[in-house]
Structure 1
């Protein structure tokens, strides 16, 4: 998505908890000519997401497109064998990360009055497991009701 938005001339604000991945993505986008604000953010931390939103709005004035789509999964164990710590980590990112993004960005997007503001939130709305034992919690349908 970021490459497409950059090709359309949009300024980008990207975030990741993993600094090397963030640096690599920002460098690749900048090499293509994009304007990129990159910040390390743990989306499970409401204050970190709010600080990112503060910086984005301070530097860019408004946001026209929000891709609020951080997500994780764990494959080491069958879903029923995962400790609660794994569930908390996954829900912190896949559910609370989406909620923090909505709360930090969407009200400001609406208040700005910018035309054409769009949001894409999270995963696909349910906790599930596959036969290979992959555990993932998909939450966007639950979050969609907060923004529609």
Structure 2
């Protein structure tokens, strides 16, 4: 896009973390942002921050795992705004690091419902609106675990590999259309990923969050800047964080060997960070 001024963007998971940073960055460039989050009060707080800084935004509640909920969101957004030019499927939850043999399948389903089906629902429901615009942008937020599948987060990595495949297939399908499709793959990002995850027992969330906070990573604003750059420059892929860049190189150079090469270092990193 030549400019973001005057555009309308829907950002899911916009009430905190990366989504909040994306909403602020877009609004600061003249975009009207529909901030959508399961926690409506969080969405309202972000809207208040945006409007107090001179931007324009609206707050909406949505459970991205629900197709009906997403359809209601679309109705609300189009009632409040004339069109949708940008969709950022950002909503996601983190895993409690745990070996797969010890992971309840209900946790895996919950992760897939939000991280994968959230992107599928959002795309399916808003894509006709994006295709009707002269130019539009669809952004799916993946993860470095969609490049390299580490142990102890099997469900999470599965969801992010699936988001990657979904996005790349859409990009090929929509080539030549008004819609640019961008996959953003952040590395470790300083958010409340563990505190906010519904698949982590309440008594373990704070301790896991403290451990996660000790890991080197980037601020959400760095990821948001990557998202905005990807939209403006019509980039197919955006990597943020030195960890993601390094893993991208390793998996490209040794696609069949990286699991063996990285098993011990990743195990050591997980043990150091989470005590796994």
Q: Normalization by structure 2: what TM-score?
A: 0.48
**Equivalent of 1:18 in 21, 39, 56:** 39
| CA distance 1:57–1:147, change in 2 (3 Å) | farther
Moved beyond 3 Å, runs of 4+: 124-130
3-state SS of 2:138 partner: strand
Mapping of 1:61-72 within 5 angstroms? 61-72=82-93
1:89 and 2:110 aligned = yes
Match of 1:146 in 2: 170
Shift of 1:46: 0.4
Aligned 8 A contact 1:43 1:100 in 2: yes
| Structure 1 residues 90 and 78, CA gap change in structure 2 (3 angstroms) | same
Give the structure 1 partner of residue 48 of structure 2: 27
- Tell me how far 1:54 sits from its aligned partner: 1.4
Of 14, 17, 41, 2:62 maps to 41
User: How many pairs are equivalent?
Assistant: 144
Aligned to 1:103: 124
Kindly state the Cα deviation for residue 126 of structure 1 after the two structures are TM-superposed.
6.8
Higher relative contact order structure (alpha carbons within 8 Å, sequence separation ≥ 6)? 1
Do the aligned residues in 2 keep the contact of 1:18 with 1:40 (CA within 8 Å)? yes
Corresponding residue of 2:138:
119
Contact (CA 8 Å) 1:94, 1:122: kept in 2 or not?
no
Contact 1:13 1:36 in 2 (8 A): yes
Partners in 2 of 1:35 and 1:96 — Cα distance?
28
Contact persistence 2:130–2:137 (CA under 8 A): no
Unaligned runs of 5+ residues in structure 1 are none
Q: Report the aligned-residue RMSD.
A: 2.0
Unaligned runs of 5+ in 2: 1-21, 173-276
Q: Give the deviation of 1:56 after TM superposition.
A: 1.2
SS of residue paired to 2:63? coil
TM-score w.r.t. length of structure 1: 0.85
